[in-house]
Amino acid sequence: MVGGFGSEFGAAARGRKLDPGLIIKQVKVQIAVANAQELLQRMTNKCFWKCIGKPESSLDNSEQKCIAMCMDRYMDSWKPVSRAYNSRLQRERANI
């Protein structure tokens, strides 16, 4: 992994100081990627089971429309929940 944890910790092993700010930034990026992957996985599973009656080699028009609508609705519901959650986290951090 270029520029990832391995290179940062390798720098420490070579006698250079670790940059805590860089490590925190890398952790935040990895958490964001993991969260995005989890969201996509959950949305895919939910919409697959809702829209695909009998898996075949391709999707028919109604399945394609159902998946598109399902994913749109899922994202529309996820956005305000995510904003509220992030807002709450920020308030709690400010109170610490």
- Dihedral in degrees, nearest 10, Cα atoms 73, 74, 80, 82: -170
Q: Which two tokens stand for residue 14?
A: 């070579």
Indicate the CATH number of 5-95 among 3.40.640.10, 1.10.287.810, 1.20.950.20, 1.10.580.10. Answer: 1.10.287.810
pTM score of the predicted model:
0.61
56-70 exposure pattern, b = at least 16 Cβ within 10 A, e = fewer: eeeeeeebeebbeeb
What ranges do the domains of the chain cover? 5-95
Instruction: Tell me the per-residue pLDDT of 21-68, one tens digit each, with 9 for 90 and over.
Output: 899 999 989 998 998 899 999 999 999 999 998 889 999 999 999 999
Tell me the C-alpha distance between 7 and 89, whole Å.
Answer: 31
Q: Which residue's structure tokens are 């610490």?
A: 96
